[in-house]
Amino acid sequence: MTRRSCVLAGMLVLAAPGFALAKPIAFADGTTVMLEYGAGTMTEAQVFYAPEFNYSVGGGHVEFDSAISPETVRITYARLNYLVQRWNLESAQANVYAWGGAGGATGNTFAGTQGVVNAGGQADYETRRVYASLKTDLQRSSAFSVRVDTLQLGIAPYEHEYNQIATWFVVQAREYTGGIQHGVESAFLLRFFRGGTWIEAGVTNGGKVQAMAMYNF
């Protein structure tokens, strides 16, 4: 990733009006814009529109910069997200999502543009005080294969109302395959959201910044 795109992503994150639990489908007839800066190894932007509550369509752009080699991969993709199952409990909600897509990739370890297949899924559980989320996302082509597995656990110091700012303390464990990074990267994040806007920022065990912003409308 270039320094310019790094700065741009950072500015967009800081400029975003604000995002408890990132979901690929926010609500029916809703649009989600998401930007994530993942500690220098992954930067991603996504836009999805959900015609119904159980699916959304859109696309994204992700850049991987290996922490252990000079390898860089840039992928632009179109994607369909599907809510496989939802459990609406009295004071909680749990979901299982799956997604799939396709796109093209360029990089500095292969020539031209490579076709890419994207597949992934997420399982989550959320109350107004705690949440847990496990996500896996695979980008695969004939030239490379990168999978990002992310576990997040969050706790809220107070139960927020709809029109109040929600605050979450989040711990995250993330693992990259495909030579992007060795071992599990952990991070501590502080997250705020109100209405349809969300912003979070934190630091990894390697001392790098991780940030994300999301806007739903």
Return residues touching other proteins (CB under 8 A).
20-21, 23, 26-30, 52-54, 83, 86-93, 126-128, 159-163, 166, 193-196, 216
What's the rounded Cα separation, in Å, for the pair 86 and 105?
33
Least distance from other proteins to the Cβ atom of residue 27, Å: 2
Burial class (CB in 10 A: 0-12, 13-18, 19+), 36: buried
The SS3 assignment for 39 reads: coil
Task: Quote the least distance from Cβ 163 to other proteins, whole Å.
Answer: 5
Query: In angstroms, what is the minimal distance from the CB of 95 to other proteins?
Result: 9
Between residues 155 and 161, which has the closer beta carbon with respect to other proteins? Answer: 161
Q: What's the closest the beta carbon of residue 98 comes to other proteins, in angstroms? A: 16
Specify the residue, 88 or 142, whose C-beta has the smaller distance to other proteins. Answer: 88
Tell me the C-alpha to C-alpha distance, in Å, between residue 184 and each of 22, 106, 139: 21, 26, 19
Q: Between residues 85 and 108, which has the closer beta carbon with respect to other proteins? A: 85
Closest to other proteins by CB, 69 vs 164, is 164
Residue 81: how many CA atoms within 13 Å on its side-chain side? 33
Entry field: residues in the chain = 217
Rg of the Cα trace of the chain?
Answer: 17
